[in-house]
Amino acid sequence: MLLGKHLNKYYGKYWFLFLGGVLALIVVDVVQLYLPEYLGNLVDLLNDSSKTGVPVDTAKVGNLCLWLLCFAGIMFSGRMLWRFSLYTASFKTEAGLRREMFMKSERLSQKYYGETKTGSIMSWFTTDLDEIQEYTGFGTVQLVDSTFLGLMVIIRMFRLDWVMAVFAMIPMILIVIWGVLVEKFTAQRWKDRQEKYDKMYDFTQENFSGISVVKAFVKENKEIHAFAKVARKNKEANLRFVKVHIVFDTLIELIIGLILALIMGFGSWFVYAAISGNPIRIFGHAVNIGAGKLVTFIGYFDALIWPMIALGMLVTMLGRAKASLKRVSAFLDTPEDVKDCEDAIELKNVRGDIEFKNFSFSYPAKPGVEVLKNVTLKINAGELIGVVGRVGCGKSSLLTALSRLYNLDEDSVFIDGNDIMKCKIASVRDSVAFVSQENFLFSSTIEKNISFSKPDATMDEIERAAEFADVADNIKAFPDGYKTVTGERGVTLSGGQKQRISLARAYLKSAPIMILDDSVSAVDVRTEEHILENIRNERKGRTTIVIASRISSVAHADRILVLNNGEVEAFDAPDRLSGISPTYSKMVELQQLEDEIKGGES
C-alpha cells in the first residue's frame, strides 16, 4: 500500500469509498471461486451420464446453470460497485492533492520560483499525480486481488490436491522473489525517467514562451537540434524503464504459461492413471483426481493467473507511485519562508503613510549583495511621489518591498506606522495596487483582465478604469470590444495597450496606495501626459508612487526621490532637486538634449 502523510489523510477522508470498493471486490473474488467448482460438478454430471448410459438429470443441469447465472449477476454488480467506489476515491484523492499543491504554489515565495523550473512543477502536477491516482485506484484492486483472491485460490487448491497445488505455487513464489529484487531498480529507473521528462518540459515551455526571440534571430534550426538532444535523452530514459518493465512482465507471463502447461499435461496423466485404477503416487500421496476435479483445478489456476499478473504489475506500479509521491511530498513540504508571523495584525482603514527606516535589502538568491543600503525616508498620505535614478539603482526593489514578496528586516518598512513584517500579508498587499514593469495579462477577455482586481465590478466601473488608463478608445476599436480575448500573456496586444490595461486593473482596485513601476514607458508622450493628468485628478488624496525613466513623467509630482547605487541621493520637490542632486541634474540635461534633437528632426 502506498503510504505518506500527504496521502494517508485521504484514505481517512474517503474511507467509506475505499471500504465499500474493497468489500465489493472481496465479494466478487469469493463468488468467482464458486465458478470452477460448479463447472467441475457439471463436467462430472455429464461424465457420469456418459459412463452409466443414464440420461442426464436436466433438473440438476438447470439448477447448476441457474447458479452460474446468479454468480455472473453478482460478479457483474460487484464489479460495477468496486469500479465506482475505488475509482471515485482515487480521483477525489488526486483532486485533493492537486488542490493542496495549487494552494501551496500560491503561498511559496518568489525565491522558490527563482530556483525551480516551471516545467518541473508542471510535471509534478501532471504525470506524478496521474501515477498516484492510478495506484490508489487500480493499485488497490491489484493489492486486494493479489493477496485476498490469491490466498483463497491457493487454500482451495490445497484442499483439492496438495501435490498439484505445489506446482501452481511455483510461479507465485518466483514472482514474489523477482518482485522484491526488481522493485527498487524500477523506482530508480522511473525517477530518472521523470527527471529527463522535467528537462524536456522545461526546454519546451521556455522555447514556446520565447518563440518571438527565436524567430527574430533566425535560430529555429539551432533550437530544433537542441530540442532533439533533450528529447533523445528523455527517449533513452523511457526505453531503459520500459525494458525493465517488459522483461519483468514477459518473465511473469512465461512462468505462468509454463506452469499452466505442466498442470494440464500432468493433470491429464493423473486423470488417466486414476481412471485406469493406478493413481500416481508422489511423496506417498495418491493423486486420485477425475476429469471434473481437473476442470475445477484448472479453473482455480485460471483464477490465480490474474493475482499473479496483478502482483507483478503492482511491483512496477508501486515503484513509480513511490517515486512520484516522493516528488509531490517534497513540493508540499517545501518551507514557506514568506508567511504571517504569530499575532500578526490586520491593516485596516489605511491612509497611505509610508516610511522606510535604515532599510537595506538583498535578494535571497544573492544574500551578500545589497541592492538597497540604509534607505530612510517618509511619504505622507495623499502625496504623488516620483522615483528616478539610473538603471539598476534599486527603484523597483524599493517599492516591491511594500508588497511583502520577500522577508524584510523588522522595524524597517512601515505603512501608517505599522511594521509590515508584523502585519498580515494579505492585508498589506490588499492596501497596495502595483503595476509592475512586466505587464502580465491572462489569456482571457479584456473585461476579465481589468476586473481581475475586483471580480464583482460593474461594466461602468470597468469602462471608467479603461478611460482612466486612456485605453478605452483602443478597446472600442476592437471588433469584440471588451470581449476581445488577449491571448496568452496578452500576445494579441501592443506593449502600450498591455501597460494601460494593467494600469486600468490597478486603478479599479481603488487601493489607498498605488505604485506604477515605469508603467507608461511604452506609450507616446500625449498619452503619457493624459494618463498622468488622470492620476493627479483621480488619485488626489491617495498615495501614488510613479517610478519613471523620463523626468517628464514625474515633473508634476509633489516630491521626487532620486536613488543612486541603492542609496537616497535626494528627496525633495522638483524645483529644488537640480541644486542638490547631480543625478537628477544630469537626467534633466539629457532629456532636454533629447527633446532638442527630436525637435530638430521634426
Share of the chain above pLDDT 90, in %: 16
- pLDDT, residue 280, reads 72
154 and 28 assigned to the same domain: yes
Q: Choose one of 332, 360, 392: the last residue of a domain.
A: 332
Q: Choose one of 332, 362, 389: the last residue of a domain.
A: 332
For residue 84, what are the CA distances in angstroms to 20, 32, 186? 10, 19, 30
Identify whether 445 is part of a domain: yes
Put the strands of the sheet holding 354-361 in their side by side order: 372-379, 354-361, 413-415, 418-419
- pLDDT, residue 355, reads 92
Identify whether 483 is part of a domain: yes
Q: Determine the Cα–Cα distance for residues 93 and 71; give it in Å rounded to an integer.
A: 32
194 and 180 assigned to the same domain: yes
Sign of CA dihedral 245, 247, 250, 251: negative
Asked if residues 462 and 450 have their Cβ atoms less than 8 Å apart, the reply is yes
Read off the pLDDT of each residue in 254-275 and give the average, rounded to a whole number: 76
Residue 137 is given by DSSP the state I
113 and 246 assigned to the same domain: yes
Identify whether 339 is part of a domain: no
Read off the pLDDT of each residue in 418-442 and give the average, rounded to a whole number: 88
Lookup: cell for 273: 492413471
Identify whether 326 is part of a domain: yes
- List, in sequence order, every beta strand (DSSP E) within 256-364: 280-282, 285-287, 354-361
Give yes or no for residue 409 having a pLDDT over 50: yes
Local confidence band at 378 (pLDDT 50, 70, 90 cut-offs): very high
Number of compact structural domains in the chain: 3
Q: Determine the Cα–Cα distance for residues 200 and 522; give it in Å rounded to an integer.
A: 35
How high is the mean pLDDT of the chain?
82
138 and 170 assigned to the same domain: yes
Q: How many residues in the chain?
A: 602
Give yes or no for residue 414 having a pLDDT over 90: yes
462 and 517 assigned to the same domain: no
- pLDDT tens profile 109-138: 888 887 787 777 888 888 889 889 988 988
- pLDDT, residue 602, reads 40
- List, in sequence order, every beta strand (DSSP E) within 380-462: 384-389, 413-415, 418-419, 432-435
- pLDDT tens profile 543-553: 999 988 778 78
Q: 162-175 b/e with 16+ CB inside 10 Å = b? A: ebbbebbbebbebb
Instruction: Supply the range of the domain harboring residue 392.
Output: 350-425+513-528+542-602
CA-based max dimension of the chain: 126
Asked if residues 470 and 432 have their Cβ atoms less than 8 Å apart, the reply is no
Give yes or no for residue 172 having a pLDDT over 70: no
478 and 580 assigned to the same domain: no
Lookup: cell for 219: 535560430
Highest mean pLDDT among 89-93, 185-189, 312-316 belongs to 89-93
191 and 235 assigned to the same domain: yes
> Angle at which helices 162-209 and 150-160 pack, to 10 degrees?
160
Identify whether 550 is part of a domain: yes
Local confidence band at 50 (pLDDT 50, 70, 90 cut-offs): low
- pLDDT tens profile 478-530: 888 889 888 777 777 887 888 888 889 999 988 899 998 887 776 777 888 88
Local confidence band at 49 (pLDDT 50, 70, 90 cut-offs): low
Read off the pLDDT of each residue in 97-117 and give the average, rounded to a whole number: 86
For residue 63, what are the contacts with CB-CB under 8 A and spacing of at least 6?
none
Residue 136 is given by DSSP the state I
Identify whether 476 is part of a domain: yes
Identify whether 535 is part of a domain: no
Lookup: cell for 366: 544573492
- Among 293-307, 355-369, 432-446, the range scoring the smallest mean pLDDT is 293-307
- pLDDT tens profile 17-26: 999 999 998 8
Local confidence band at 169 (pLDDT 50, 70, 90 cut-offs): confident
One-letter amino acid for residue 441 of the chain:
L
Identify whether 340 is part of a domain: no
17 and 97 assigned to the same domain: yes
259 and 297 assigned to the same domain: yes
Local confidence band at 166 (pLDDT 50, 70, 90 cut-offs): confident
Q: Report the DSSP beta bridge partners of residue 564.
A: 567
Q: Determine the Cα–Cα distance for residues 181 and 188; give it in Å rounded to an integer.
A: 13
One-letter amino acid for residue 169 of the chain:
M
- pLDDT, residue 47, reads 65
174 and 282 assigned to the same domain: yes
Q: Determine the Cα–Cα distance for residues 448 and 466; give it in Å rounded to an integer.
A: 12
Report the CATH number at residue 15: 1.20.1560.10
> Angle at which helices 162-209 and 291-332 pack, to 10 degrees?
30
96 and 225 assigned to the same domain: yes
495 and 584 assigned to the same domain: no
Read off the pLDDT of each residue in 176-184 and give the average, rounded to a whole number: 68
Q: Pairing mode, if any, of strands 280-282 and 543-547?
A: unpaired
Give the global pTM.
0.71
Local confidence band at 600 (pLDDT 50, 70, 90 cut-offs): very low
Asked if residues 136 and 332 have their Cβ atoms less than 8 Å apart, the reply is no
Report the CATH number at residue 476: 3.40.50.300
Q: Determine the Cα–Cα distance for residues 42 and 64; give it in Å rounded to an integer.
A: 7
Sign of CA dihedral 233, 236, 241, 242: positive
Put the strands of the sheet holding 384-389 in their side by side order: 432-435, 513-517, 543-547, 384-389, 559-564, 567-572
For residue 147, what are the contacts with CB-CB under 8 A and spacing of at least 6?
307
